Amino acid sequence: MRAFFMKFTPLFLRSCLTLLCCAVGLHAVGQQQVKVGGTIRDENGQAIELATVHLEGTAIGTISNLRGHYSLRFESRDTLTLVYSMLGYQTRKRRLVRPRGNLSIDMVLPAVEMQLEGVVISELKRQTGTTHELNAKAGRLMPDASGAGVESLLATQAGVSNNNELSSQYNVRGGSFEENMVYVNGIEVYRPLLIRSAEQEGLSFINPDMVGSIRFSTGGYEAKYGDRISSVLDITYRQPTRTEASASASLLGVSAYVGLAGKKFTWSNGWRYKTNQYLLGTLDTKGEYNPSYIDYQTYLQWTPGRRWEVGMIGNISENRFRFRPEDRYTRFGTLEQMREFKVYFEGGENDLFRTFTGSFHTTFRPSDKHAFTLRASAFHTREQETYDLTGQYWLSDADAQAPVGIGTYMEHARNYLKATVQTLQLSGEHRFEGHTLRWGVEARNERISDRMREWELRDSAGYSMPHTSGGPELFYTLTSRNSIESRRAAAYLQDTYRFRSSLGLFTLTAGLRASYWSWNREWLLSPRASLSLIPAFNDRFTLRLAAGIYYQSPFYKELRDTLQTGGVAAVRLNANIRSPRSIHLVAGGDYHFKALGRNFRFSAEAYYKALSRLIPYTVENVSVNYYGRNLSSGYATGLDMNLFGEFVAGTDSWLSLSLMKTQEKLAGVWMPRPTDQRYRLSLYFNDYFPGSRRWTMSLKATLAGGLPFGPPHAGLEAARFRTPPYRRVDIGMSHHLVDRTNGVRGLGIRSVWIGVDVFNLLNIQNVNSYYWVTDSGGAQFAVPNYLTSRRLNVRLLLEL
Average pLDDT, the chain: 86
- 727-738, pLDDT tens digit by residue? 999 999 998 888
199: three-class secondary structure by DSSP: helix
Average pLDDT over residues 591-619: 92
Task: Tell me what pLDDT residue 468 has.
Answer: 52
What is the average pLDDT across 696-717?
89
Confidence tier at 778 by pLDDT (50, 70, 90): low
- Looking at residue 389, its pLDDT comes to 92
DSSP string, 646-678: -SSTT--EEEEEEEEEEEEEETTEEEE-TT---
By C-alpha distance, which of 625, 666, 622, 677 is closest to 197? 622
Once rounded to an integer, what is the mean pLDDT over residues 328-355? 88
In this predicted model, what pLDDT tens digit does every residue of 213-268 receive, in sequence order?
899 999 999 999 999 999 999 999 989 988 999 999 999 999 999 999 998 999 99
Give the pLDDT of residue 484: 93
DSSP state letter for 557: G
Distance CA 96, CA 78 (A): 8
Asked whether 387 and 412 are in contact (CB, 8 A), the reply is: yes
Backbone phi, then psi, for 375, in 5-degree steps? -135, 135
pLDDT over 50 (residue 119): no
pLDDT tens for residues 491-517? 999 999 988 888 888 999 999 999 999
Q: Which residue has the higher pLDDT, 531 or 537?
A: 531
Q: Which positions ≥6 away from 632 have C-beta within 8 Å?
A: 614, 616, 664, 665, 666
Section 171-185 average pLDDT: 93
Most confident of 12-16, 209-213, 333-337, 690-694: 209-213
pLDDT at 594 over 70: yes
Beta bridge partner(s), residue 598: 595
Q: Are 719 and 674 in contact (CB under 8 A)?
A: yes
pLDDT for position 747? 66
For the segment 74-96, what is each residue's pLDDT rounded down to a tens digit? 888 888 889 998 866 788 888 88
Give me the residues paired with residue 483 across strands: 449
pLDDT band, very low/low/confident/very high, at 421 (cuts 50, 70, 90): very high
Is the pLDDT at 114 greater than 60? The verdict is: no
Q: Is the dihedral of CA 456, 458, 462, 464 positive or negative?
A: negative
Using the predicted structure, report yes or no on whether residue 679 has a pLDDT greater than 80. Answer: yes
Which of residues 354 and 620 earns the better pLDDT score? 354
Beta partners for residue 322, in sequence order: 290, 350
Percent of the chain, pLDDT > 70?
Answer: 90
Residue 63 clears pLDDT 50, i.e. is over it:
yes
Mean pLDDT of 322-336: 86
> In terms of DSSP bridges, do strands 751-759 and 767-774 run parallel, antiparallel, or are they unpaired?
unpaired
Residue 8 is predicted with a pLDDT of 39
Burial letters 82-119, b for 16+ CB under 10 A, else e: bebbbbbbeebeeebeebeeeeebebbbebbeeebbbb
- Measured at the CA of 587, the angle between CA 581 and CA 588, to 5 degrees, comes to 135
Query: Residue 6's pLDDT band (boundaries 50, 70, 90)?
Result: very low
Which of 413-427, 452-466, 506-520, 615-629 is the least confident region? Answer: 452-466
In our burial notation (b when 16+ CB lie closer than 10 A, e otherwise), range 496-520 reads: bebeeeeebbbbebbbebbbebebb
Between 23 and 441, the more confident residue is 441
Poorest-confidence range of 20-24, 281-285, 483-487, 631-635?
20-24
Q: Does position 188 have pLDDT exceeding 80, yes or no?
A: yes
Share of the chain above pLDDT 90, in %: 50
Q: Which residue has the higher pLDDT, 443 or 130?
A: 443
State yes or no: pLDDT of 739 exceeds 70. yes
- Please tell me the distance from the alpha carbon of residue 37 to that of residue 59, in angstroms, as a whole number: 18
Contact between 409 and 459 (Cβ < 8 Å): yes
What is the phi-psi region of residue 253: left when phi exceeds 0, alpha when psi lies from -120 to 50, beta otherwise? left
CB 112 within 8 A of CB 99: no
pLDDT at 472: 53
pLDDT at 254: 93
Report pLDDT digits (tens) over 559-577: 988 876 655 778 889 999 9
Q: Is the pLDDT of residue 664 over 70?
A: yes
Give the model's confidence band at 740: pLDDT under 50 very low, under 70 low, under 90 confident, else very high.
low
Q: Which residue has the higher pLDDT, 738 or 426?
A: 426
pLDDT of residue 614: 95
Residue 565: per-residue pLDDT: 64
Q: 23 or 410: whose pLDDT is higher? A: 410
Query: Rounded mean pLDDT of 474-500?
Result: 90
